[in-house]
Amino acid sequence: MTGDASHQKRALRVELRERRRQLADREREASTAELSAHLQNLARRLGVRSIAAYLPTSDEPNIRPFVTWALENGIRVLVPVSRNDGLLDWAVADGEEETAGLYGLPEPVGELLGPIAINDVDLIVVPAAAVDRSGMRMGWGRGYFDRTLGSMERCPPVYAVIFDTELLDSLPSEVHDKRVDGAVTPSAIVTF
């Protein structure tokens, strides 16, 4: 069964990646403003003082305005730095300096805090390829966030950021896949 789920996930990732590439610039720009507003509302509702977020690639929903808003409002923002061993280090975002890290992903420039730095945040915002209505998250296949979330003793709320068409009825899953508490899309905040 795991082999089947793994194959299904690979095929679905190809389809989702192609859909993202076909999004018009106008749709992307509109979704950015909506996502930022929803993420700000979520952060306010939870009363966060610190968050773990990520710096999106050009194909991902753009949460950079939200990260900027958080920094401007005194919220500490940790951003992941990928390691070769499959774990994530964390660095404090300053909203200015960044570099291309492992796999070409954008990462902050600064002191590395190690994998356990995420244990002190109030909200975790993760990327995803898709999320289903039970909260099952499917990433892009490297397992970094599944390992991170699976290793946390007490995990704050975790919300995946996706486009509206990526909230699906169900997803294939494997034993190591982790559920999220909610999804933020351009049209809604969905809590599971």
Burial class of 80 by CB neighbour count within 10 A (0 to 12, 13 to 18, 19+): buried
Return the pLDDT at 141: 76
Query: Distance between CA atoms of 168 and 184, rounded to whole angstroms?
Result: 13
Return the pLDDT at 1: 47
Return the pLDDT at 111: 86
In the chain, the domains with their CATH numbers are 2-191 (3.40.50.10420)
Cβ-based neighbours of 163, under 8 Å, separated by 6 or more: 20, 23, 31, 61, 185, 186
Question: Mind listing the pLDDT tens digit of every residue in the chain (192 residues)?
Answer: 456 888 899 999 999 989 888 887 778 888 999 999 999 999 999 999 999 999 998 889 999 999 999 999 999 999 999 888 888 899 999 878 888 887 778 888 888 898 888 998 999 999 999 999 999 999 887 778 888 888 887 889 999 999 999 999 999 888 888 889 999 999 999 999
Return the pLDDT at 80: 93
